[in-house]
Amino acid sequence: MPKATQHAEEKVEHLSVADRVALGKSARARVTRASHGDWGPAADRPDPLALLEAQETTRVPELVPLRHGRMAASPFAFYRGAANVLAADLAAVPHSGLRVQLCGDAHLANFGGFASPERSLVFDLNDFDETLPGPFEWDVKRLAASLEIAARSRGFDRKIRTRIVSASVRSYRETMRTFAKMQNLDVWYARLTTDDIMARWGADLGRESLKAFQRSVDKAGSKDRLRAESKLTRIVDGEPRFVSDPPLLMPIEELFSASVVHDLEGSIHEALRAYRHTLQDDRRHLLESYRLVQLARKVVGVGSVGTRCWVALMVGLDNTDPLFLQVKEAEASVLEPHLGKSGFANHGQRVVQGQRLVQAASDIFLGWEHIIGYDGKPHDHYMRQLWDWKASATIETMSPERLDVYGQICGWTLARAHARSGDRVAIAAYLGSSTSFDEALARFARLYAEQNDLDHQTLTGAIASGRMTAESET
């Protein structure tokens, strides 16, 4: 797997297929496949709330209660926001040593449909804030546990939950074994379009699920920059301006004094100029045809709430030609305390390079830069389009059949991501043809979901006692 700091003169070792198979099988001696199902909290397990609070020391203080409110909404919401808690738990147990570029936060809500540069809808991973090289099973375990937790939230019984998780892990394992036999370029070009999904899984979906899938595809195509313009802006004195929706979307003029606004606008404007040099030349040329109109702060996600996330409103030909760039703060990955520091000086670059390595097709404006914040300190950021089509699964209404299929799609996608960045032959050899790994991760998912329930209760109890403050959006 390529290193972040690798130079052209460094020697790259090319093992034979037989040696790569042997590498994967030898990893079983260190960590058996069945052992992945053995999990329990370590005797010295850190307080999950202390981990969250430590992470929040660098967040925007007035937004931290909103983060707590979102995480307290349900065990699944807590799990989404607690990637650092799971990272600490996984670090306490042995791992295979077979490394890939981890997504770092591969729960099922971080998958979805997105526009490729060729304007087709592809299914892929989305959020890479925590990306870092590490053992492949960490991503698979995060996905497996998220499916178990989501299935519990839907009230599915244990047998159904086990079937759903096992099917997703089986999809990962079998897909990796398929990729292990494919040529390198074929793996690199592999992607999952909506037509591919219908051809592969359409027969497993009922009539209503097929209709719901088609509605999701149709909706994705309409969630673009023009939709963002109609929802997020209005015309004021002949110019588009952001509509204030505190605290979720706030023009910077509402947040700071005139002098701070002036300095921050200048800093972000300068960063946008510099960020262009992280793009390909043709995309830089396209970006330079837009002018900056206004900036706003936007609250995004669950775990990301409180990070410095801005939206830049730009226009091209005229006011009917908008471009919305998300300018999102990138902090150290939650995996770094356990897997080592990133090789990149800018965490925005860490996110971008990881995303480019893992995704089948990335946003054309994906890049990075430092920004001097209103606190006078430099903050790493990455940039991409705010909305460029997006199809998200509505997990809260999924039937067992739909969640089963969705989990399989996620498993396929994660295997493709890992096959691009890691040794797919060695990983396939480690996984093997039996269901041992599938069954083990179903056990792990069940055990970890129970721990996640307890951690969620700890958060809600801390809010009730006043130890932690929480804000609702309603």
Q: Looking at the domain assignment, is residue 153 inside a domain?
A: yes
278 and 347 inside one domain:
yes
29 and 162 inside one domain:
yes
Please state, rounded to an integer, the average pLDDT across all residues of the chain.
Answer: 92
Does 390 or 454 have the greater pLDDT score? 454
Does 320 or 144 have the greater pLDDT score? 144
Does 38 or 473 have the greater pLDDT score? 38
- Which of 385, 406, 440 terminates a domain? The answer is 385
47 and 163 inside one domain:
yes
The pLDDT assigned to 7 comes to: 45
Q: Which domain range does residue 317 map to? A: 225-385
Residues composing the chain: 474
Q: What is the pLDDT of residues 405-448, one digit of tens each?
A: 999 999 999 999 999 999 999 999 999 999 999 999 999 999 99
Q: Please count the structural domains in the chain.
A: 2
Q: Please give the DSSP secondary-structure letter assigned to residue 236.
A: E
Q: Looking at the domain assignment, is residue 171 inside a domain?
A: yes
- Which of 367, 385, 403 terminates a domain? The answer is 385
189 and 79 inside one domain:
yes
453 and 373 inside one domain:
no
- Tell me the two tokens of residue 388: 């460029």
> Measured between alpha carbons, how far is 338 from 341 in angstroms, rounded to an integer?
9
- Tell me the two tokens of residue 224: 């673009």
70 and 115 inside one domain:
yes
200 and 254 inside one domain:
no
* pLDDT higher than threshold 70 for residue 319: yes
Q: Span 304-311, mean pLDDT?
A: 95
Residue 221: band (very low, low, confident or very high) from pLDDT cuts 50, 70, 90 = low
Q: Span 150-166, mean pLDDT?
A: 97
- What sign does the CA torsion over 410, 413, 418, 424 have? positive
Q: Looking at the domain assignment, is residue 346 inside a domain?
A: yes
93 and 81 inside one domain:
yes
291 and 280 inside one domain:
yes
In the chain, the amino acid numbered 413 is T
The pLDDT assigned to 6 comes to: 45
448 and 319 inside one domain:
no
Q: Which residues pair with 401 in a beta bridge?
A: none
Does 195 or 277 have the greater pLDDT score? 277
- What sign does the CA torsion over 324, 329, 334, 340 have? positive
Residue 40: band (very low, low, confident or very high) from pLDDT cuts 50, 70, 90 = very high
What percent of the chain is modeled with pLDDT above 90?
81
Measured in degrees and rounded to the nearest 5, phi and psi for residue 470 equal: -140, 145
Residues 6+ apart with CB under 8 A from 149: 75, 76, 79, 449, 452
Q: Looking at the domain assignment, is residue 278 inside a domain?
A: yes
Q: Looking at the domain assignment, is residue 316 inside a domain?
A: yes
Residue 322: band (very low, low, confident or very high) from pLDDT cuts 50, 70, 90 = very high
> Measured between alpha carbons, how far is 382 from 400 in angstroms, rounded to an integer?
37
* pLDDT higher than threshold 80 for residue 470: yes
Residue owning tokens 């706030």: 250
Residue 55: band (very low, low, confident or very high) from pLDDT cuts 50, 70, 90 = very high
Q: Looking at the domain assignment, is residue 3 inside a domain?
A: no
Q: Span 155-175, mean pLDDT?
A: 98
Residue 389: band (very low, low, confident or very high) from pLDDT cuts 50, 70, 90 = low
171 and 267 inside one domain:
no
- Burial classification of residue 306, based on how many CB atoms lie within 10 Å of its CB (0-12 exposed, 13-18 middle, 19 or more buried): buried
- Three-class secondary structure of residue 157 per DSSP: coil
Beta-sheet strands, E only, within 73-135: 99-102, 111-115, 121-125, 132-135
* pLDDT higher than threshold 50 for residue 5: no
Q: Span 172-177, mean pLDDT?
A: 98
359 and 409 inside one domain:
no
Q: What is the pLDDT of residues 125-157, one digit of tens each?
A: 988 999 999 999 999 999 999 999 999 999 999
Q: Span 60-83, mean pLDDT?
A: 97
| 8 A C-beta contact, residue 391 and residue 124 | no
The pLDDT assigned to 222 comes to: 58
Q: Looking at the domain assignment, is residue 7 inside a domain?
A: no
- Burial classification of residue 454, based on how many CB atoms lie within 10 Å of its CB (0-12 exposed, 13-18 middle, 19 or more buried): exposed
Q: Looking at the domain assignment, is residue 11 inside a domain?
A: no
- Which of 385, 406, 428 terminates a domain? The answer is 385
Measured in degrees and rounded to the nearest 5, phi and psi for residue 329 equal: -65, 140
Residue 338: band (very low, low, confident or very high) from pLDDT cuts 50, 70, 90 = very high
- CA proximity to 271, closest of 230, 337, 325, 212: 325
